[in-house]
Amino acid sequence: MLSDAQGIPLAVAVYGANMHDSLALKPLIRGIPAVRSRRGPRRRRPVELRADKAYFSAEHLAWLRERGLVARIARPGIESGERLGRHRRKIERSIAWLFGYRRLTVRYERKGSHFLAFLGLAAALTCYKKLAKRAT
C-alpha cells in the first residue's frame, strides 16, 4: 500500500507471500492516480517518498531520482529505522483502516483478483470517509 502524508491510501496491490516487498515499489509508484489541484495542472507524482530499509537499493534510488522523487529511505546497517517510526505509524494506521473491513481480515477468496477488488473498494471507502470528515 502507498499512502499520502495523512495516511489516505493512494495505491494498493496484492502480491504473493513469497515475494520481497521491494518488488512492489515500482508498480505502486506507477499506480498513483493524477491528483486534481485548485490551481494549475494535475500533479502526477508525489514530491517525497519515505520507505523502510527493505526498499533501499541502488536500482530503486536511481529509478526514483530519474522520476524526480526525493527518497527518504534508511540505509541498512548505517541508519536506524527509529526516525522513520513517526512516519511509519501513518502507514500502519492506514493498513489497520483497510483491515477493519471484515472481508479483508481473512482472505476468503481463492482468486487474487477478487481480493484486489475488495481491497480497492475498501481503499475507496476509506478515502471517502477521511475526506468527508475533513470537509465538514
pLDDT digits (tens, 9 = 90+) for 80-129: 656 655 666 777 888 888 888 877 777 777 787 888 888 888 888 988 88
Q: So what's the pLDDT on residue 87? A: 62
Rounded to whole angstroms, how far apart are CA atoms 37 and 33?
Answer: 13
Whether 14 and 23 have beta carbons less than 8 Å apart is answered as no
Query: What domain count does the chain have?
Result: 1
Domain that holds residue 125: 2-135
95, with CB counted inside 10 A (0-12, 13-18, 19+), is middle
Rounded to whole angstroms, how far apart are CA atoms 70 and 63?
Answer: 11
pLDDT digits (tens, 9 = 90+) for 9-63: 888 887 777 888 788 888 888 888 776 667 777 666 677 888 877 788 889 899 9
Rounded to whole angstroms, the maximal C-alpha distance in the chain is 45
**What's the pTM value of the predicted model, to 2 decimals?**
0.69
Measured in degrees and rounded to the nearest 5, phi and psi for residue 18 equal -95, 15
Q: So what's the pLDDT on residue 81? A: 56
Q: What is the SS3 assignment for 80?
A: coil
Helices (H), the chain: 25-30, 58-66, 85-98, 102-105, 112-135
Mean of pLDDT over the chain: 79
